[in-house]
Amino acid sequence: MFDALYISATGMQAQQTNLDTIANNLANVNTTGFKKARVAFTDLMVQEAARLAPAQDESAAGAAPWGILGGRLTVGAGVGVAATARLFEMGDLKQTDSAFDVAIQGEGFIEVNLPDGTSAFTRGGTLKINQDGLLANSTGYPLKAGISVPDNAQELLIDADGKVQAVVPGQLSAVDLGQIELVRFTGPEALTALGDQLYRSSLGSGEPIAARAAEDGMGSLAQGFLEGSNVKLSEEMVNLMLAQRVYEANVKVIQAADDMLGMVNSLRK
């Protein structure tokens, strides 16, 4: 009965983490480029319940451990949170007609340089020209491609393959500014979220693999579009109800164990 209390407590704690994750998904249902998260559960260490087994000399020839189907009787120790993974299913594209809005159709990330010299990765969004004249994400971090935009540029053009051009007065044709390359990961669900729709690579995600947009299975760039959140309200509401029911079931187990302990304490000699 004491074990039941602690095991149910792990279930309640795990479902609280699950509930927090679902709440964050719902809060970002209208956040541009947001990727929903899912909690993965794992059973905790299984403990051998030797105290429940009858005495038996296992050193004797042919003696088998006591328990169901010839095995020892074991008791689980509860549930824990194994990981919180990001699901990078593509969200719906929303047309904005802004030259600085860019979405990725398909697989891939755009790499940006962080102030500490490391790299982060984004699924696109609203770009801008930072104080150094470089094409950057909405936070101001420049793209790794290092694309410098002239001050007198009248229009910015981004092709599906990542080629960036600008219309400049006095030039008969658009001026080439650079090339945006995309990267992908073998395990994108293990990327570490930094906020502002930025992610950092981890041991689980692997190293970034660079490739040209719209080639070798890589996604293409869509100028004038933004990728919406991939959160589905109906799916999250179902997950919310399931988490609540599992939490309630664990509470019921604690109440039942407490009632049984109360019965034991009330016994008279």
Residue 90 structure tokens: 């593509």
Q: Specify the pLDDT at position 51.
A: 47
Q: Specify the pLDDT at position 53.
A: 47
| Cα 238–Cα 244–Cα 246 angle in degrees, nearest 5 | 105
| Cα 69–Cα 71–Cα 74 angle in degrees, nearest 5 | 115
Each residue's pLDDT, cut to its tens digit, for the chain (269 residues) gives 578 888 999 999 999 999 999 999 999 999 999 999 999 999 887 655 544 445 455 555 554 454 444 556 667 789 999 988 999 999 999 999 999 999 999 999 999 999 999 999 999 899 999 999 999 999 999 999 999 999 999 999 999 999 999 999 988 899 999 999 999 999 999 999 998 899 999 999 999 999 999 988 899 999 999 999 999 999 999 999 999 999 999 999 999 998 888 888 887 65
Q: What does each C-alpha distance from 41 to 18, 116, 246, 261 come to in angstroms?
A: 9, 34, 13, 29
Cβ neighbours of residue 180 under 8 Å, at least 6 residues apart? 110, 143, 145, 147, 158, 162, 163, 164, 213, 221
Q: Specify the pLDDT at position 267.
A: 78
Closest CA to 138 of 148, 120, 125: 125
Cβ neighbours of residue 231 under 8 Å, at least 6 residues apart? 25, 26, 28, 29, 34, 36
Domain spans of the chain, in order of start: 2-87+232-265, 93-227
Q: Specify the pLDDT at position 110.
A: 96
Residue 19 structure tokens: 């509930």
Q: What does each C-alpha distance from 19 to 5, 12, 84, 246, 248 come to in angstroms?
A: 21, 10, 12, 11, 13
* Residue listed under structure tokens 């990728």: 227
